[in-house]
A and B are shown apart, each in its own frame.
Chain A
Amino acid sequence: DIVMTQSPDSLAVSLGETATINCSSSQSVLYGPDNKRHLAWYQHKAGQPPRLLIYWASTRESGVPGRFSGSGSGTDFTLTINNLQADDVAVYFCQQYHSGPPTFGAGTKVQIK
């Protein structure tokens, strides 16, 4: 299985500032035939189900605010939350769906400083 490693485990960011979350995969999640990066990001708030934020590494799901953006290629990816809002407090997971069973990172907890 592809192992997904996230960093940091947690971070505290001031309101209005930028949160950056990293995700590395144990092998490339770039799929040759469609040249797409098979990487997604989720937001998980306490007491709620997870929410899909981004897929294909950088495509925002419908309804997701523009302050959320994804980037990266190959094995290293980043979720950036610009202008952090109080409502963004959550755990954020990355997921690969390139090969084998889909696997998730352990999560990064984002808090307000």
Chain B
Amino acid sequence: QVQLQESGPRLVKPSETLSLTCTVSNYSISRGYYWGWIRQPPGKGLEWIGSIYHTGDTFYHPSLKSRLSISIDTSRDQFSLKLNFVTAADTAVYFCARLNGHNPNVWGQGTLVTVSS
């Protein structure tokens, strides 16, 4: 059974970089699928962040594109998110997911990242 787990700092200062890694278990990400990040600010709905294919092809949400980088390490079965110049508006639960097309069908548990000084 494929499992995903997010890891990274839970507290990030404003203007700094939010970095998260998703580790995939029981599946080699080089076999295929897109892998993505979705977030949910407190009390709000889900927001698509972006996705990456095992080849490195990426798709970023246009509103985040200037601050966002998603990378993949097939040797470690991991993919990562970096979001620069964060503000309080970036406080959210961040989920990583395996995508069936554009549909996340396997999700990580999610991790709350708070942007605060």
Contacts and interface: CB of A to CB of B under 8 A. Distances in A.
Interface stretch (B9-17, B44-52, B84-92): B44-52
B103 A50 contact: no
B107 A102 contact: no
Given A97-B102, A101-B61, A102-B102, A49 B107 contact: yes
A49 B40 CA distance: 11
Contacts of B109: 48-49
Contacts of A50: 46, 95, 104, 107
A42 B106 CA distance: 11
Nearest to B50: A101
Nearest to A98: B102
Nearest to A51: B107
Report the contact-size class of chain B (Cβ under 8 Å from the partner): 10 to 19
B81 to A, nearest CB: 15
A40 interface: yes
A51 B105 CA distance: 7
Contacts of B108: 49
A97 B80 CA distance: 23
A3 to B, nearest CB: 11
A61 interface: yes
A112 interface: no
B34 to A, nearest CB: 11
A12 B101 CA distance: 33
B104 A105 contact: no
Interface of B: 44-48, 61-62, 95, 97, 100-105, 107-110
9 contacts: A48-B109, A49-B107, A49-B109, A50-B95, A52-B104, A55-B103, A97-B101, A100-B62, A101-B62
Given A38-B102, A51-B107, A102-B102, 20 more contacts: A40-B103, A49-B108, A50-B46, A52-B105, A55-B100, A55-B101, A55-B103, A93-B46, A95-B102, A95-B103, A97-B101, A97-B103, A100-B62, A101-B61, A101-B62, A102-B48, A103-B48, A104-B47, A106-B44, A106-B45
